C-alpha cells in the first residue's frame, strides 16, 4: 500500500483522485495540505475517512512524514520549486504537475536536490496513455518510416478555465511562469519528444499578449521548431480561441505513413495511415471503447509514480523511465527561447 500525500486540493485533483478511488488496495491518501482548508477537507472526505488536512505543507511534512511514501504536488507553478524542494529535502519523492518549474534555472536547482529515493517525476500524464503508447510503437515501425514533418495544434478558451475569476494565478506570468506554452502546449511538445525519442534544438516563435493575461504571459504563439534528428514542423497554440471544435491535434508525416491524432470526444480518433496509405486504424475501434483521456492517463501516471516509489516492475512502466528523462529534455532551453516571443530572422 502506497501512502501518498497531496499538496494542493484544487481543480486538477479531480483527475488524480480517480487513481486512488479505483485502486484502494494499492493507494491511500496520507494527508492533504492546502491553505484553502475547505477545499482540503472536501477532497479528504471524497478520498476516505480520517485523512488529516493541513493549511501548510511544511506542517504536514513535519507531522506525518514518517507515514508518507510520496507526495503529489498540484499547486500554482511558482510554488512547485519551493514545495518540491521541501519534499525532496524530507527524503521523499514528488510527482509534480506540469510544468515542473517556471524556468530551466529552477529546474536545474530542483534536479540538483534529487537523490536515490527522493526524485521528481514530471506530471506529463499523456506519456502514460494507452493510445499514446500504441502510437509510439507504430511510429517506430516501418509502416511510418522516418519522421519528416509535424503540425501541432493545442487550444483552450481561458474564459472556461478561469470561470471569469479576475486575478487568477494562471493569467499572471509571475505566478504561472509563462502563458499558453508552459501551461498547455507543454503537453503536445513533450509528447512529440517522447514519441520520437528526440528533442527540439531550434525554435522561432511569435506571440500575442492579449488580455486577460498580464506581465508578459503570452496568450497565443505560432512557432516553427526543428529537432535534433532534423524533423521540422509548426506549433500553433492559443488560450483565446472561442468555440474551437477541438483542443489538441497532431499530424506527423513519415517516409511511409501519416499519423493523425485528434484528442477530443466525441470524435477522438487516431488514424495511422500505413505504408501505402490504405491501412487506416481507428484506435477507438481496436479498443472497443474510448476512455476519457484525462482520467485514464492520470491513473497510469500515478501507477508509474508508485512504481518508482516501490522500485518494483509495473505493467505501464514503458513510459516510466522516459518520463523521468523529462527533467533532462526540458533543460534543452526550448522554453527560454520560446518565451522571448520575439520575431527572429530564420537566416
Ligand atoms: N495535467 C493536466 O492536464 C493539468 C490540467 C490542469 C492543471 N494542471 C496543473 O495542475 C496544477 C494546479 O492547477 P489547478 O488547475 O488545480 O489550479 P487551482 O488553482 O485550481 O488549484 C491550486 C490549489 O493550490 C492551492 N494552494 C495555493 N497555495 C498553496 C500553498 N501554499 N500550499 C498548498 N496549496 C496551495 C490553492 O488553494 C488551490 O486549491 C498546475 O501545475 C497546473 O498546470 C494540469
pLDDT band at 132 (very low <50, low <70, confident <90, very high): confident
H/E element holding 71? strand 70-73
- pLDDT for 109 beyond 60: yes
* 89/156 same-domain check: no
Q: For residue 314, is it within any domain?
A: no
Contact 124 CB / ligand 1 (< 6 Å): no
Residue position matching grid coordinates 529537432: 227
Mean pLDDT score of the chain: 81
- Rounded to whole angstroms, the Cα distance separating 49 from 42 reads 11
Q: Whose CA is nearest to atom 23 of ligand 1?
A: 10
Domains in the chain, number: 2
Q: How confident is the model at residue 275 (pLDDT cuts 50, 70, 90)?
A: low
- Indicate whether 111 belongs to any domain: yes
The yes-or-no verdict on residue 138 having pLDDT over 70 is yes
The CATH number assigned to the domain holding 133 equals 3.30.360.10
The answer to whether residues 271 and 139 belong to one domain is yes
Q: Is the CB of 178 under 6 A from ligand 1?
A: no
Instruction: Name every residue whose Cβ is closer than 8 Å to that of residue 223 and which is 6 or more positions away in sequence.
Output: 203, 204, 205, 206, 234, 235, 338
Q: Are residues 139 and 232 located together in one domain of the fold? A: yes
What are 297-321's pLDDT values in tens digits?
777 677 667 766 765 433 333 334 4
Q: How far is the CA of 21 from the centre of ligand 1 (A)?
A: 20
Q: Is the pLDDT of residue 186 over 80?
A: yes
For residues 159 and 277, membership in a common domain is answered with yes
Which residue's CA lies nearest to atom 19 of ligand 1? 10
Of 88, 123, 158, at which residue does a domain stop?
123
Structural domain harbouring 222: 129-290+325-339
The reply to whether omega before 266 is within 30° of 0 (cis) is yes
Residue nearest to atom 7 of ligand 1 (CA): 12
pTM above the 0.85 mark?
A: yes
CATH code where residue 61 lies: 3.40.50.720
- Residue 251, phi then psi, degrees to nearest 5: -120, 135
Assess if residue 308 is contained within a domain.
no
Find out whether 179 and 212 touch, Cβ atoms under 8 Å: no
Amino acid at each position: 500500500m502506497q501512502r501518498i500525500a497531496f499538496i494542493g486540493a484544487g481543480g486538477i485533483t479531480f483527475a488524480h483522485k480517480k487513481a486512488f478511488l479505483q485502486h484502494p488496495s494499492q493507494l491511500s491518501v496520507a494527508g492533504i495540505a492546502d491553505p484553502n482548508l475547505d477545499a482540503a477537507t472536501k477532497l479528504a472526505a471524497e478520498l476516505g475517512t480520517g485523512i488529516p488536512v493541513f493549511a501548510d505543507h511544511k506542517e504536514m511534512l513535519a507531522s506525518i512524514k514518517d507515514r508518507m511514501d510520496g507526495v503529489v504536488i498540484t499547486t500554482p507553478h511558482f510554488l512547485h520549486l519551493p514545495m518540491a524542494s521541501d519534499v525532496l529535502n524530507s527524503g521523499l519523492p514528488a510527482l509534480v504537475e506540469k510544468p515542473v518549474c517556471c524556468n530551466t534555472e529552477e529546474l536545474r536547482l530542483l534536479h540538483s536536490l534529487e537523490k536515490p529515493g527522493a526524485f521528481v517525476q514530471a506530471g506529463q500524464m499523456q506519456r502514460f496513455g494507452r493510445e499514446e503508447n500504441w502510437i509510439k510503437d507504430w511510429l517506430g515501425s516501418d509502416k511510418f518510416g522516418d519522421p519528416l514533418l509535424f503540425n501541432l495544434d493545442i487550444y483552450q478558451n481561458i474564459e472556461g478555465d478561469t470561470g471569469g475569476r479576475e486575478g487568477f494565478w494562471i493569467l499572471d506570468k509571475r505566478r504561472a511562469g509563462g502563458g499558453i506554452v508552459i501551461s498547455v502546449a507543454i503537453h503536445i511538445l513533450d509528447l512529440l519528444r517522447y514519441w520520437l525519442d528526440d528533442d527540439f534544438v531550434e525554435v522561432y516563435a511569435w506571440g500575442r499578449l492579449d488580455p486577460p493575461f498580464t506581465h508578459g504571459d503570452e496568450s497565443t504563439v505560432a512557432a516553427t521548431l526543428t529537432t535534433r534528428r532534423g524533423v521540422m514542423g509548426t506549433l500553433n497554440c492559443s488560450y483565446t480561441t472561442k468555440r474551437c471544435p477541438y483542443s489538441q491535434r497532431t499530424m506527423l508525416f513519415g517516409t511511409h505513413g501519416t499519423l493523425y491524432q485528434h484528442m477530443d470526444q466525441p470524435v477522438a480518433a487516431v488514424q495511422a495511415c500505413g505504408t501505402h496509405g490504405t491501412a487506416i486504424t481507428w484506435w477507438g475501434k481496436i479498443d472497443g471503447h474510448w476512455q476519457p483521456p484525462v482520467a485514464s492517463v492520470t491513473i497510469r501516471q500515478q501507477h508509474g509514480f508508485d512504481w518508482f516509489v516501490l522500485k518494483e516492475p509495473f505493467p505501464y512502466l514503458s513510459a516510466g523511465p522516459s518520463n523521468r528523462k523529462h527533467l533532462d529534455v526540458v533543460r534543452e532551453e526550448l522554453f527560454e527561447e520560446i518565451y522571448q516571443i520575439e520575431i527572429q530572422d530564420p537566416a
